[in-house]
């Protein structure tokens, strides 16, 4: 789930889901901010491990590139560092009905509705998941390395963002800053696809600026193949649930889709690995609708934004076009994105 760099819309405003969740969110955010130290202070501390210092210095260069070259917000975000003493920044809960690929939305004043709910510790997310499961819903809890407060706070760099290579870090920072650049209420797929495109295109430009050029062998190519397996199953389920079949027939068809997904995965895995593969742990869990929800939210409109970028003269022009799209009523926005998607079909930019 490396690619999941999700948006946490913390419940700091009146009217949010419950007082307990408000308290949980406030305490978690406060703890995170209290741990944050200016990067200069961390780098000057003789106790800072050399490898960490090297990564933080690279993060500084990436952060400067984001504002100077990609024209992303130039603010204090990612100029501090916080070690959370845990592997993930938070855990996101996805919920879906047994015969639906639509996420149960979680709504907040000002921010609108999103397709997941964030928790600062796994136990709280698991407890909330059990409550939804008791109502007959399907659930999935995913640990994620970073989130954006969309400019409400100066988001710090986190230890959970540094587990992987510098390419991952660059793409992640560009993605999160894109959420600060522009955000549309009630449209998770738009927001995440936009940020994902900015992350990917930004990485390409960052590598070029570093003299690294295009990667001859993309280390994430297999990850994209894995995601495509899941997206194919997701599309099959969407079509099944929209059909005129009875509920019992849909449930039977659903079981066949998941059974075929497991078989397709085993075949694909055995083509690339001998023994245990890095995605086996994902298939070790229960396969259900909620587990597939994240795949699609972050990919659906990426080619459409790539097409829009190709039509733009520079990054500021691209952002203006994105804002114009976001200002459209929901149905018109979806139509415009679909047209861009169709126009991008020959190239299929990622």
Specify the higher pLDDT residue, 130 or 15: 130
348, pLDDT greater than 80: no
Q: Where are the domains of the chain?
A: 19-343
For the segment 257-314, what is each residue's pLDDT rounded down to a tens digit? 999 999 999 999 999 988 788 899 999 989 999 999 988 777 889 999 999 999 999 9
322: alpha, beta or left? (left if phi > 0; alpha if psi -120 to 50) = alpha
**pTM metric for this prediction:** 0.85
For the segment 38-75, what is each residue's pLDDT rounded down to a tens digit? 999 999 999 999 999 999 999 999 999 999 999 999 99
From CA 48, how far away is CA 57, in angstroms rounded? Answer: 12
From CA 77, how far away is CA 79, in angstroms rounded? Answer: 6
β-bridge pairing 117-119 and 90-96: antiparallel
Read off the tokens for 51. Answer: 């490898």
H or E element, residue 93 = strand 90-96
For the segment 14-28, what is each residue's pLDDT rounded down to a tens digit? 344 577 888 888 899
């Amino acid at each position: 789930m490396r690619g999941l760099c999700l948006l946490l819309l913390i419940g700091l405003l009146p009217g949010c889901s419950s007082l307990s969740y408000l308290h949980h969110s406030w305490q978690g955010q406060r703890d995170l901010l209290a741990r944050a130290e200016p990067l200069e202070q961390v780098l000057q501390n003789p106790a800072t491990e050399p490898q960490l210092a090297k990564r933080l210095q690279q993060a500084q260069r990436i952060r400067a590139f984001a504002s100077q070259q990609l024209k992303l917000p130039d603010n204090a975000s990612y100029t501090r560092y916080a070690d959370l003493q845990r592997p993930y920044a938070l855990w996101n809960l996805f919920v879906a009905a047994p015969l639906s690929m639509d996420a149960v939305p979680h709504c907040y004043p000002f921010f609108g509705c999103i397709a997941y709910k964030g928790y600062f510790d796994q136990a709280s997310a698991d407890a909330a998941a059990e409550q939804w499961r008791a109502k007959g819903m399907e659930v999935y809890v995913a640990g994620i390395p970073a989130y954006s407060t969309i400019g409400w706070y100066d988001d710090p760099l986190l230890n959970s963002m540094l587990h992987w290579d510098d390419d991952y870090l660059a793409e992640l920072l560009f993605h999160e800053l894109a959420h600060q650049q522009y955000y549309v209420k009630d449209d998770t797929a738009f927001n995440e696809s936009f940020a994902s495109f900015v992350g990917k295109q930004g990485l390409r430009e960052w590598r070029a600026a570093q003299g690294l050029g295009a990667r001859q062998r993309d280390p994430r190519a297999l990850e994209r193949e894995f995601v495509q397996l899941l997206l194919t199953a997701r599309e099959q389920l969407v079509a099944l649930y929209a059909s005129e079949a009875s509920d019992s027939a849909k449930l039977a068809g659903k079981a066949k889709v998941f059974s075929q997904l497991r078989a397709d995965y085993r075949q694909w895995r055995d083509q690339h690995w001998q023994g245990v593969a890095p995605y086996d742990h994902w298939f070790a869990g229960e396969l259900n609708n909620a587990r597939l929800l994240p795949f699609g939210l972050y990919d659906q409109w990426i080619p459409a934004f790539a097409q829009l970028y190709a039509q733009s003269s520079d990054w500021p022009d691209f952002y203006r076009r994105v804002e114009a799209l976001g200002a459209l009523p929901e149905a018109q926005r979806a139509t415009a994105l679909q047209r861009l998607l169709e126009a991008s079909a020959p190239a299929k930019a990622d």
